[in-house]
Structure 1
């Protein structure tokens, strides 16, 4: 009995192997998969960001600046350093604009009333993120983006 089942399985596999290529040949060429985006490993990661900071308690830190990378420029006061930090994070495979995961355990500390909003493009994708200093996770997120964001801590 098991011999019969094994023979049936082998014959079924042989028939399917012969039929599958013929079926795809009739339908023409198969579409090729889309290429995956490759991370930027060397050089500067392209960026065009608008950064708005408020509540920092420092007139020089509050306001809106533009940051362009590759090449570094815009109205950001330390564009070279900010682009360098973004490139460093990109090289580490980190997304500096990702929100804090919902299941993260964050310390209950307050880092002040400063808030920031960053919009634009980074590494070819759209960015629209809000940052604050309302708990340990948000403070860490803010500090991780220094000197893109001003030091207010």
Structure 2
């Protein structure tokens, strides 16, 4: 199954499982696909911070500062191994009632986390 189809199916499953009580304004499904095809996903909810993301407060602060515009994230200095093991990430959902659909590729998991200031640290 191609990456986008897998991600879309995963996002729909996670988003729909929240039911009508899921936060409407700040709810994102974040996915990461490894080179071997393995995909991991977490849910990030903000205001209040929650979901299955391991550090929702940090991720929410980062996204709030840029109004969920991933291109506006400055990233952080972090020492990452120089191993090329590309990952593809995607964020889908809603932020302040607006649709979010972000996709990017990074050299490895560490770089994905560093360049998104922890949003993709899972």
Tell me the residue number matched to 2:69: 95
Q: What is the total number of aligned residue pairs between the two structures? A: 84
Q: Distance in 1 between matches of 2:48 and 2:85?
A: 33
Does structure 2 conserve the Cα–Cα contact (< 8 Å) formed by 1:117 and 1:129? yes
TM-fit CA distance, 1:49: 0.1
Q: TM-score, normalised by structure 2?
A: 0.55
In structure 2, C-alpha distance between the alignment counterparts of 1:74 and 1:150, rounded to whole Å: 14
Equivalent positions of 1:1-153 (< 5 A) are 46-55=25-34, 63-90=40-67, 95-96=69-70, 112-133=85-106, 143-150=114-121
**RMSD over equivalenced CA pairs, Å:** 3.0
Bigger relative CO (Cα 8 Å, ≥ 6 apart): 2
TM-score for both structures, normalised by structure 1: 0.45
Q: Distance in 2 between matches of 1:148 and 1:82?
A: 5
Shift of 1:142: 6.5
Deviations 1:11-35 (A, max 9, x none): xxxxxxxxxxxxxxxxxxxxxxxxx
Contact 1:72–1:83, Cα closer than 8 Å, also in 2: yes
Of structures 1 and 2, the larger Rg is shown by 1
